């Protein structure tokens, strides 16, 4: 199986909203984004739980300008925009002077002991940078948005 489709990790959001009361604070600048190749196998957004576990324990990219574990998300915000829409957004993550190839990204809560997975984002194709900046340009809707009142 190739890199999974984009989506939220169900187990993390269930734990945040049930009696577990996982302290998932989406406004923190301690979350990270790690890059993966298209060789991620067995990934399942309904059952996977964290960075470095299961399907996310291998096939992270490697190369010049990339550090295992990814980079910090900066400028993170979780806010109500209009109507029933809430958005999780951040400054566009980047790796400068990087020589890497990635198929997708895993956003995770590095400050939590479990490195809980938050979002998987597929790029739809392999993206390569050669001694240049690898940049993820986040959409106008942020990393993700949810309309609670569709």
pLDDT digits (tens, 9 = 90+) for 91-128: 999 999 999 999 999 999 999 999 999 999 999 999 99
In this structure, is residue 1 part of a structural domain?
no
Residue 57 structure tokens: 């324990």
Q: What domain count does the chain have?
A: 1
Q: Give me the domain span that covers residue 33.
A: 7-147
Q: How confident is the model at residue 2, as a pLDDT?
A: 83
> CA separation (Å) from 48 to 1, 63, 75, 110, 123?
15, 26, 26, 16, 19
To the nearest 10°, report the CA torsion of 114, 119, 71, 62: 90
2 belongs to a structural domain: no
Which residues in the chain land under pLDDT 70?
1
């Amino acid at each position: 199986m190739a890199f999974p489709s984009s989506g939220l990790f169900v187990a993390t959001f269930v734990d945040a909203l049930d009696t577990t009361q996982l302290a998932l604070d989406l406004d923190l600048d301690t979350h990270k984004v790690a890059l993966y190749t298209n060789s991620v196998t067995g990934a399942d957004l309904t059952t996977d739980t964290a960075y470095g576990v299961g399907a996310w324990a291998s096939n992270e990219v490697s190369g010049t300008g990339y550090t295992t574990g990814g980079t910090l998300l900066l400028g993170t915000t979780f806010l109500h925009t209009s109507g029933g829409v809430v958005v999780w957004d951040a400054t566009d993550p980047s790796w400068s002077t990087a020589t890497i190839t990635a198929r997708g990204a895993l956003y995770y809560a590095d400050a939590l002991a479990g490195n809980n997975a938050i979002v998987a984002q597929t790029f739809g194709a392999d993206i390569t940078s050669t001694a240049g900046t690898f940049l993820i340009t986040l959409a106008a809707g942020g990393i993700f948005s949810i309309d609670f009142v569709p």
